[in-house]
Amino acid sequence: MRLIQAGYIDIDPAVHSLISCKIIWFLLYSIRLLGFWFIVLACVDRYLCSCSSADKRAWSSTRVASRAILITTMMCFLAYVHIPIHFRIYIEPATQKRVCHSAGPPGIYRKIFSFYNLIIFGILPPFCMFIFGLFTLRHVREKETLYMTARVNC
């Protein structure tokens, strides 16, 4: 998309139709968000697999994973439902070109959208991955300690 917009061709398919502008950016943002949150789900699954509690380990199943993937997909698409509402094609003052900007129309929405993306892309997924990674390491170390203690006592 970026290559088509600013690269060799210098054509932006989103500026010819308001509907295509909204659909293209909605799909690009939503699908890009899915990858981050699927990695978070993988971290949660590793945490659940490493639990000593059988009840928690039971949550690490194909049935639960399928439902979690479906819910995550819906949430990622819902997270960007505002794009079809707020994105507009506008004329950029400096170049007098029609633009369907990836950060939304100029103004307060663009500022809020930038912080929203920072939180939803840059802060929440790495934080969740970090927390569940630490919990997983703690469980693995506890199991290792139990194994070593049981081995010494034998």
Q: What is the CATH number of the domain that holds 108?
A: 1.20.1070.10
Q: Which H or E run includes 33?
A: helix 18-50
Say how many domains are in the chain. 1
Report residue 154's pLDDT band, with 50, 70 and 90 as the boundaries. Answer: low
For residue 11, give both structure tokens. Answer: 């054509």
First-to-last alpha carbon distance for the chain, in angstroms, is 63
pLDDT at 64: 95
Q: If phi over 0 gives left and psi between -120 and 50 gives alpha, with beta otherwise, what is residue 58?
A: alpha
Q: Are 82 and 104 in contact (CB under 8 A)?
A: no
**5 inside domain:** no
For residue 8, give both structure tokens. Answer: 């060799």
**70 inside domain:** yes
What pTM was computed for the model?
Answer: 0.79
Report residue 71's pLDDT band, with 50, 70 and 90 as the boundaries. Answer: very high
**pLDDT over 60 at 131, yes or no:** yes
* Residue range of the domain that includes 122: 13-153
Mean pLDDT of 123-149: 90
